[in-house]
Structure formats: C-alpha cells, structure tokens
A = this chain, B = another copy of it.
Amino acid sequence: MRIPKHIAIIPDGNRRWAIQHKKEKKDGYQNGLLPGVQVLRKAKEYGVSEITYYGFTMDNCKRPREQKDAFKKACVDALRFIKEEGNVSILVLGNRESENFPKELKEYTTRKEIGKPEIKVNFLVNYGWNWDLSGIVNGKGVYSREISKIDLVIRWGNMRRLSGMLPIQSVYADFYVVETLWPDYADEEFDLAIQWYAKQDITLGG
C-alpha cells in the first residue's frame, strides 16, 4: 500500500464540540488532547515518517481572551503528551516574537530528539502563512523550510480548506476531510484516510 510519508493534521471542531456538549467554547480544546496522541500512535504504526499538527495561528489569537488562553494551554499540554510517547523528534514552528507564543514551547523551536526518534513531529504554534513567507524576503527562505512537502492533509470537522496551513508544503497535498469533530476522533477515520490516499493517482503535474 502507498503510505504517505508526511501527514498534516487539522484538528478542527473543538468549539463546535463544546457547544454540542453544552460547554463553553473554550472548554472544547482539552478534549482534543487524547486524539492528538491516538493519531501519533496510528501514524507510527503505519510507518509515516513525519506528522504536522496545526496548533493555532496568529489569526486565531484575535479570538476572545479565554479561548486564546485555552488553546495555548492545550498546545502546551499536547506537546507534553507527545514527549511522553517518546521516540519522536519535535519541532515547534511559529512566530516566537510575540506574547502569544507559549514560553514553555520556546526550547522546541530548534528540533529536539526524544529517545530514538521513529517519527518527526512538527507543531505549528502561533503560525501565520504570511509570517512564514516573510522569511523569503529576508533572503533565508520560508521559516518553515525545515518542514518537508506534505503528502496528505487530514482535516476533522468537515471544513474543506487549508486555513493558511503551510501553503508551500501543501501545493501537491491530497486533501481528506472527516466529518467528525476533532474531540470525537476515532482511529477508524485515520485508517480510512490512509486507504483513500493509497488509491489516489499522483503525477505531480507530469
């Protein structure tokens, strides 16, 4: 079976999930932590070599304070869980020159190996596509230059858009949409995405 080398995860639907469960919007994010770990385990199982999580963006930070604090905390917690899984190589990428960048994550803005890495994990935190591209103007190339081309994007929560995630790495990515809201993640959805990807024809324009 043709397995994607690099999968990007858009874990959308946390706020809609919170509303469905009669919670406050901010309370959806914590329920997205366990799915993050489950996806990582599945990716390792399939032999995927790189996984990118779309944490939060600079634009997301325009949301109400309590939501912002909640998704920032969720990202810090998510990274701790990923670290605890072990055998990963972690890179956190985003604009760190801002108070919206969690200080606990600064040490991961250069890649860190935990154990004997079986998979690269990239975590986009306070990321912005225009911030990313602004690296080009400075003559160093995009800030995300360490992140490889994405083969498969899986988006939970039924929206069909990239929402600014790594535009350069996504140019040829296959885009798979899951209806389920992210906190309701089930392993079977990941399996279906992999099976769907295996059937796609890739020509890269040729």
Hey, which bits of chain A sit against chain B, CB under 8 A? 57, 59-60, 62-63, 129, 133, 136-137, 139, 159-164, 167-168, 170-176, 200-201, 204-206
Assembly CA distance A160 to B162 (angstroms): 12
Q: Is the CB of A168 within 8 A of B60?
A: no
> Taking the full assembly, how many copies of this chain does it contain?
2
Assembly CA distance A122 to B97 (angstroms): 38
Assembly CA distance A206 to B174 (angstroms): 25
Min C-beta distance of A54 to chain B, whole Å: 11
Closest 3 CB pairs between A and B? A59-B205, A167-B167, A164-B171
Q: Is the CB of B129 within 8 A of A171?
A: yes
Please judge, given known A-B contacts A136-B136, A137-B136, whether A205 and B163 are in contact too, CB under 8 Å. Answer: yes
Assembly CA distance A133 to B162 (angstroms): 18
12 contacts across the A-B interface (CB closer than 8 A) = A59-B205, A62-B206, A129-B171, A133-B133, A136-B136, A161-B172, A161-B174, A162-B172, A163-B172, A164-B172, A164-B205, A167-B171
